[in-house]
Amino acid sequence: MIVKDRNKNIIKNSDGSLDKAIRHVYGNAVGRFILRIFTQPIVSKAVGAFMDSRYSSPLIEPFIKANNINTDDYIMDDIDTYNKFFTRKIKDGKRLLDMNPKSFISPCDAKLSVYKLDSDSVFEIKNSLYRASDLVKCKKLADKYNGGWCMIFRLEVDDYHRYCYIDNGTKSKNNFIKGVLHTVNPIAFEHYNVYKRNCREFSVLHTENFGDVTQIEVGAMFVGKIANHHEKYSFRRGEEKGMFLFGGSTIVLLIEKDKLMPCSEFLENTADNCETIVKMGEKIGISLR
């Protein structure tokens, strides 16, 4: 996948080797057998407990060096487990929040793709294929967004893994959907004989300036944790909504028709099969209300 900045300069051009490796694992019997072992609840809990323990701390420094992370941007006090490092907080002033009520802001640091939505739209998220109705497991809710927009924010390991509210408003309770992995007959739009869905959590944000926005946090089938701070709640623009622990790394926003116009560079880059780098709090669209 090609990643560009907002001026359309190429920042990274992946050769797709990771995606090929993942597809190879899911596409053969041995790989699926190994995954079944690692997706057992007892294994998932053990890995999670390790990441929360001080025994995981030796992983931190090699990870920082391998991914060229500038730790000067972050509060690094009392970081003694890998998950504490993964969810490190950013220092004040390192992200500029656009407070114009008409500006639609990015909820996180990520690589962004933007798509027009209809009932037949299919999106690839963490190497699985979804329709909007698959993401929320509710056709009625998904149909609410036909003609609107789907924004996919893909966080990489070196990104800031906390995320904020995009506007002022109120939210529904959180709805958790458990991930699955099992062998099935080939699905029409898949190329390998496995059915795979990641765990995810969604809520409906009733915003002041952009109508109802459904936000979906996508984790992994195992280990990945989504830590949202609130159930039903009144929120303010830029307030921290939650964080991903190790294994969680995608946010999807579903936006209603005629409520928002994304900035043109995101549409153009997505049409060219490119992602665009965004930072939490920056303007990525404008209200049409």
Catalytic residues, which ones? 109, 249
| Residue 112 burial (CB count, 10 A) | 25
d(CA 286, CA 289): 9
